[in-house]
Amino acid sequence: MAAGSQETVRMHLVMFPYMAQGHIIPFIELSKLLASRGGFTITIVNTPLNIQRLQSKIALLRLQAENLDIRLAELPFDGTSHGLPPNTESTESLPHSLFLPLLQASQQLEQPFQQLVQDIVRKEGRLPACIISDIFLGWTLDVANRLGIPRIMFCTCGAYSTSIYYSLWAHLPHRQTDSDTFCVPDLPHIRLHRSQLSQILAVSEASDPWTLLWKRNTSCNLSSWGTIFNTFEDLEHDFLDYFRRITGRPVWPVGPILPLTGTLKTKKIAWRGNESAVDAETCLQWLDSHPASSVLYISFGSQNSISVSQMRELSLGLEASQQAFVWALRPPVGTTELSSDHLPHGFEERMRANNKGFLIRGWAPQLMILSHPSTGGFLSHCGWNSVLESISQGVPIIGWPIAAEQFYNSKLLEEEVGVVVELCRGIDGEVRKNNVERIVKMLFDGHDEKGIELRKRAMDLKAAATIAVSSTGSSITHLDDFIQKLKYSKGMENQG
């Protein structure tokens, strides 16, 4: 290739997601977007097992669009000294009790990461244009500062939940009151209930390891060059503005970052994050056999599950509702394998026999299911990716947040947006068969006022999300602004 050709002048971006599916999936989507719209070379950095899993995915992307220059790079990782089982490099394969050790272990990647970026500099004779790294990897700012490169945080969560989360970790307001409800210090109009605290936050102290880690992380994130959010202005404008105020730096909401709509209804989309545990064709045929908007999809995401007793009540309630459903089952909390004892006696057989339930043991082709016309509701833990996937398809949500910022996602979408009705909270929350039946019927009954309103809001949001990512929409305008700033900036102005 001759000097000065397109290949030699591409700017290089280094992208570093946290080791969790809910983070890696949107990072891949953002990489695609930046490589195609900005013409950048992208290197995605991660630990060996995560990179190996991505290899065939990236090869497929290159086949789909030959000019995408997306590369993968491995960093050596061994979490055993932090108490992680050998060969575990993702939250997906860990119980909650090992999430902190994984986060702590991720800091050992600092030196190898710096080395990797320096190798890129040596090879190309210039600095990468920026490092785009995860909200959990605040320490990458130190590497960026040492090498003189702008660091951008890519927040795979929403702006509302991130703002609340930052404030809670900074002030621990729940430790200063015995009351069941309390205000969020920097956002006093938001009142939380204790049951909306993750287990980790509920027991946090000013100097415990999580709190210290989060404080350090937050201060790095707030002093980075800017923040990209996987959200859109219309959905979270006030909270994006709040973020702009507290950082004093650019904030670019460029979402929902999802594959192109045309690809969703094909089998190709089944392979997203992980390989689907079911044959995509079989799943599509099952969905095809049901009327439009008549199927409830149930999933608690890539790393959460519910208790055995909750699983039983949920099953009984679903059966009583007589609504068709697809359920992505993960082993219940405290177990490593799902057994038929975890479900009511004969449940699976009955659901199969009357064509009411399609059970997926393991990874479900979620986006393919949500984009199918038969899907009319999503019982979700309200992970942010799931939320965006659901609303971008016009599917209303029954909320059952389990951990982390999922409680605030559910709160935002129920109280401020009106597209969620909450069924339960956490793994200790009470869930009764009758309540499941009532809420499912409410959502699907074409005459229930609340159900009608939820479906209408979902369609409004779908329209708003579609406009945001259209060629003149707010998200694409922000994306182009980010690309321009990157291409024409003088470097690290304002980075702390």
Interaction between residue 376 and ligand UDP (CB under 6 A): no
CA-wise closest residue to 185 among 201, 162, 164: 164
* Cα–Cα distance list, 68 to 35, 38, 39, 138, 259 (Å): 6, 10, 8, 28, 15
Interaction between residue 332 and ligand UDP (CB under 6 A): no
| Interface mask toward ligand UDP for 128-147; x: CB under 6 A | --------------------
CA-wise closest residue to 198 among 384, 429, 33, 405: 405
Q: Helices in 179-288 by DSSP H: which ranges?
A: 199-202, 209-222, 233-247, 261-264, 280-288
Stretch that binds ligand UDP, among 16-24, 239-247, 315-323, 348-356 (CB under 6 A): 16-24
The CA distance from 408 to 117, in Å, is: 36
The CA distance from 184 to 200, in Å, is: 17
> Binding residue for ligand UDP (CB under 6 A) from 12, 16, 17, 22?
22
**Helix, strand, coil distribution of the chain in percent, nearest 5:** 50, 15, 35
162 neighbors 155 (Cβ within 8 angstroms): yes
Interaction between residue 229 and ligand UDP (CB under 6 A): no
Near ligand UDP in 235-274, by CB under 6 A: 272-273
180 neighbors 194 (Cβ within 8 angstroms): yes
> Binding residue for ligand UDP (CB under 6 A) from 50, 303, 310, 393?
303
What is the closest distance, in whole angstroms, from the C-beta atom of residue 378 to ligand UDP in the complex? Answer: 10
Closer to ligand UDP by CB, 130 or 270: give it.
270
Interaction between residue 364 and ligand UDP (CB under 6 A): yes
The CA distance from 314 to 329, in Å, is: 12
Interaction between residue 105 and ligand UDP (CB under 6 A): no
The CA distance from 327 to 67, in Å, is: 38
3-state SS, residue 105: helix
Interaction between residue 31 and ligand UDP (CB under 6 A): no
Residue number of the CB atom closest to ligand UDP: 22
Q: Which amino acid is at 154?
A: F
Please, what is the Cα angle at 212 between 148 and 167, to 5 degrees?
90
Interaction between residue 301 and ligand UDP (CB under 6 A): yes
Stretch that binds ligand UDP, among 118-126, 279-287, 360-368, 391-399 (CB under 6 A): 360-368
Interaction between residue 328 and ligand UDP (CB under 6 A): yes
DSSP state letter for 278: S
Near ligand UDP in 38-97, by CB under 6 A: none
Interaction between residue 396 and ligand UDP (CB under 6 A): no
Interaction between residue 385 and ligand UDP (CB under 6 A): yes
Q: How many of the chain's residues bind ligand UDP (CB under 6 A)?
A: 21
Closer to ligand UDP by CB, 45 or 328: give it.
328
Closer to ligand UDP by CB, 96 or 272: give it.
272
Q: Which residues bind ligand UDP (CB under 6 A)?
A: 20-22, 25, 272-273, 299, 301-304, 328, 363-364, 366-367, 383-386, 389
